[in-house]
Amino acid sequence: MNRKHFLTTLLAALGLTAGSAQAQAFPNKPLKIVVPTSAGSGSDITARYFAEQLTTVLGQPVLIDNKPGANGVIAAMAVKQAAADGYTIFLGTNTHMAVNPSVVKDLPYDGLKDFRPVTGIARGMMIFIAPANSRLGSVQDLVAASKAASQQLNVGSYTAGFRLSAEWFASVAGTRSVYVNYRGAPEVFTALMGNQLDWAVSDLIAAMPQVKGGKLKALGVSGDRRHPDYPEIPTIKESGYPEYVNYTWTSMYIRAETPDSVADRLVDAMQKILATPGAREFIAKIGSDPMPLAPAEMRRFQISETERFRKVAEGAGIKPE
Which H, E and C letters describe 212-256, residue by residue? HCCCEEEEEECCCCCCCCCCCCCECCCCCCCCCCCEEEEEEEEEC
Give yes or no: residues 107 and 138 share one domain.
Answer: no
Query: Quick one: pLDDT band at residue 318, thresholds 50, 70, 90?
Result: confident
78 and 190 both lie in a single domain: no
For 50-54, 102-106, 294-298, which range has the lowest pLDDT when averaged over its residues?
A: 102-106
The model's pLDDT over 204-250, given as tens digits with 9 standing for 90+, comes to 988 999 999 999 999 999 999 999 999 999 999 999 999 999 999 99
- The pLDDT-based confidence of 6 (bands split at 50, 70, 90) is low
Residues 18 and 75 in one domain: yes
Please state the rounded mean pLDDT for residues 266-284.
97
Q: Are 209 and 303 in a shared domain?
A: no
Omega cis (within 30) before 27: yes
**What is the pLDDT at residue 147?**
92
Least confident of 42-46, 152-156, 188-192, 259-263: 42-46
Domain membership flag for residue 283: yes
Rounded mean pLDDT, 307-315? 91
**Confidence (pLDDT) at 15:** 53
d(CA 72, CA 92): 8
Are 112 and 153 in a shared domain?
no
- The verdict on residue 77 lying in a domain is yes
Domain of residue 195, residue span: 125-221
- In total, how many domains does the chain have? 2
